[in-house]
Amino acid sequence: MHRALSNLSSIDVDRLDLDDQERIDESMTLLEQVSLLTRPDAAKEANVQVES
C-alpha cells in the first residue's frame, strides 16, 4: 500500500484531465484510509477513531 500511495503521490496531476485528477485523489484517500485500518498505531498517531 505504501508503494502504491508513493507512486500516486509522484504523479504530476496538473498534467492530467479533471477526471483523472479526481481518480488519483480518490485513490490516495482510499489508500490512506486503508492504511489507518491496517495499522492501529497509525490511527492513534493521527488521532482517528476507527469503528468496527
Residues 2-22 have pLDDT tens digits of 788 888 889 998 999 999 999
Phi then psi for residue 12, to 5 deg, are -80, 90
Angle (deg, nearest 10), helices 2-9 and 18-38: 150
Average pLDDT, the chain: 81
Residue 30, pLDDT > 80, answer yes
Instruction: Please tell me the least confidently modeled range out of 21-25, 31-35, 39-43.
Output: 39-43
Q: Where are the domains of the chain?
A: 1-6+17-52
Q: Nine-digit cell at 23?
A: 481518480
The pLDDT value given to residue 34: 87
Give the Cα separation of 8 and 36 in Å (integer): 17
